[in-house]
Amino acid sequence: EIVLTQSPGTLSLSPGERATLSCRASQSLTSSYLAWYQQKPGQAPSLLIYGASSRATGIPDRFSGSGSGTDFTLTISRLEPEDFAVYYCQQYGSSPTFGPGTKVEIK
Amino acid sequence: EVQLVESGGGLVQPGGSLSLSCAASGFTFSNYAMSWVRQAPGKGLEWVSAISGSGGSTYFADSVKGRFTISRDNSKNTLSLQMNSLRAEDTALYYCAKNYGDYLLSAFDIWGQGTMVTVSS
């Protein structure tokens, strides 16, 4: 099983600031099969990024994904009030697994 | 509008069974693999099972293999999860999710709102 580790666990930032979230895999991912999701309290997750760097339909361009192999990054260029949430990475190169999540909270 | 609506959750005793359903609308259901993903209260996400668009291929997490069965009825645009020999650790909100394409291993681009399963005596 591929284990995903996310850091930091919590990120405290102000609106307008840049957020950088990290996801590290225990082994190299096939063809960058890495996705990112946003989950707000009481809501289902929503897909942001797939294939490590492709934005899902309707996702604003302040969200970007990068990385390959074992190290991946989700960047939010300028935080909007609605971006404060929990973010999960997921690999789907083998039996799908999720990281434990990074909470982005208002500072 | 693309939509997934789960039903069937509830309270069940350890060792019991429960069947979940997911009604899909707004897309050509048979063209996409589908999955179940669960989230224990206050915890992260755990993928449970996937089924191909035709229903001919299925895939399970080790934690549920041999206890859970996934199926679909493409004539009714419905996905199902039959859960047997339930354990306390199966307690979670169960989400139905649409795979990104007809791939068992995939990202999930559409999610339902979930149905809660509680396993307790």
- A44, B112: Cβ pair inside 8 Å? yes
Q: For residue A76, which of A34, A31, A21 has the smallest C-alpha distance?
A: A21
For B78-100, what is the mean pLDDT? 98
Residue B60: closest CA among chain A residues belongs to which residue? A95
A77 vs chain B: nearest CA distance in angstroms?
Answer: 22
| Residues B47, B49: Cα–Cα separation, whole Å | 6
Tens-digit pLDDT profile for residues A40-97: 999 999 999 999 999 999 999 999 999 999 999 999 999 999 999 999 999 999 999 9
Nearest to A44 among B59, B107, B114 (CB): B114
Tens-digit pLDDT profile for residues B28-56: 999 999 999 999 999 999 999 999 999 99
- Assess whether pLDDT exceeds 90 at residue A31: no
Helix, strand, coil shares of chain A, percent, nearest 5, are 5, 50, 45
B59 vs chain A: nearest CA distance in angstroms?
Answer: 8
For A21-25, what is the mean pLDDT? 97
Helix, strand, coil shares of chain B, percent, nearest 5, are 5, 50, 45
Residues of B in contact with A46 (CB under 8 A): 111
